[in-house]
C-alpha cells in the first residue's frame, strides 16, 4: 500500500469550507484513495473514495490531482459536528485491508 | 437495521485471563475485520475474514485468535491477556473487499 502524508492538525471556522490535503506520491495506478473520519470515541465513518476522477457525495468532495500524487477532501460548509480525525488511506482494490495512518485532527471553531 | 454491534462495550481483565469479543453485523456482509486503536495512533488491523469459515492475519495478529463460524458473527479471542493488549477494539464489515467498511462502536479493554 502506498504511504500517505497528512498534516497533524487543522482548524476551520464554522460555515466555511474545510480543505484537508493528503500526499500519496508513491500511489500506483490501481490504488484507490479512501477517506474516513473518526469522531471522538466513536468508530471510524466512511466519507468518500475515488480512483482518478473527482468525486462528490452528500458529505464531501474529493479532488485528486491529475498525476494522482495528492488529493484534497473538501467539506463545503463545516459544522461543529465535523470536528474529528480524518484519515486518508490508499489501498489496492484487491486487497482487503485498510491501513490507517495518524490522520489529521480537524477542529471546527464557532 | 442495527449495523455493526460489539459486545461488551467495556471490560477489565487481569493478566493471564482469557476473553472473547463478539462482533455482529446484520447487513449480510461477506468481509469482517478486527482493528485495535491505541492512544495517538491510527487503527491497526488484527485479523480479517473474507467469508464464513475463513480468517486471515492482519498487521498485528500475535496474541489473538479469531473465528467466523457464522456469516454475521466475527469473534476475537484473547487466550492469555497481557497489559500490552490494553486498547480500544473496533470491528468492521464490508460487502466486498473494496466497498466501504462499516465500523462498530468499539470495545474498551483494560488488562491489569
User: How distant is the Cα of B75 from the closest Cα of chain A, in angstroms?
Assistant: 18
Chain B residues in contact with A96 (beta carbon < 8 A) = 31, 33, 48, 50, 94, 97
B44-83 tens-digit pLDDT: 889 999 999 999 998 899 999 999 999 999 999 999 999 9
A3-20 tens-digit pLDDT: 899 999 999 999 999 999
CB contact under 8 A, B43 and A44: yes
What is the pLDDT, as a whole number, of residue B2? 80
What is the pLDDT, as a whole number, of residue A55? 95
Give the closest residue to B20 by CA, choosing from B96, B105, B107, B103.
Answer: B107
CB contact under 8 A, B106 and A43: yes
A36-86 tens-digit pLDDT: 999 988 999 999 999 998 999 999 999 999 999 999 999 999 999 999 999
Beta-carbon-side half-sphere exposure of residue B8 (alpha carbons within 13 Å)? 9
Neighbours of A6 (CB within 10 A): 21
What is the pLDDT, as a whole number, of residue A92? 59
Coil, strand or helix: which one is B43?
A: strand
Amino acid at each position: 500500500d502506498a504511504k500517505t502524508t497528512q498534516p497533524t492538525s487543522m482548524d476551520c471556522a464554522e460555515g466555511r469550507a474545510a480543505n484537508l490535503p493528503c500526499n500519496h506520491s508513491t500511489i500506483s495506478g490501481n490504488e484507490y484513495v479512501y477517506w474516513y473520519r473518526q469522531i471522538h470515541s466513536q468508530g471510524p465513518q466512511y466519507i468518500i473514495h475515488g480512483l482518478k476522477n473527482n468525486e462528490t457525495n452528500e458529505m464531501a468532495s474529493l479532488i485528486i490531482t491529475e498525476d494522482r500524487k495528492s488529493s484534497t477532501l473538501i467539506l463545503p460548509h463545516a459544522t461543529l459536528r465535523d470536528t474529528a480525525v480524518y484519515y486518508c488511506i490508499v489501498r489496492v482494490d484487491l486487497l482487503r485491508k485498510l491501513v490507517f495512518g495518524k490522520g489529521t485532527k480537524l477542529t471546527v471553531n464557532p | 437495521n442495527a449495523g455493526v454491534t460489539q459486545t461488551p462495550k467495556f471490560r477489565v481483565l487481569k493478566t493471564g485471563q482469557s476473553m472473547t469479543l463478539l462482533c455482529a453485523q446484520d447487513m449480510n456482509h461477506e468481509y469482517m475485520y478486527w482493528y485495535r486503536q491505541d492512544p495517538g495512533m491510527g487503527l491497526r488491523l488484527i485479523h480479517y475474514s473474507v467469508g464464513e469459515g475463513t480468517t486471515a492475519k492482519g498487521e498485528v495478529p500475535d496474541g489473538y485468535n479469531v473465528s467466523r463460524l457464522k456469516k454475521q458473527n466475527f469473534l476475537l479471542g484473547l487466550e492469555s491477556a497481557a497489559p500490552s493488549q490494553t486498547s480500544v477494539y473496533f470491528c468492521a464489515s464490508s460487502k466486498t473487499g473494496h466497498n466501504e467498511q462499516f465500523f462498530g462502536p468499539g470495545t474498551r479493554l483494560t488488562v491489569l
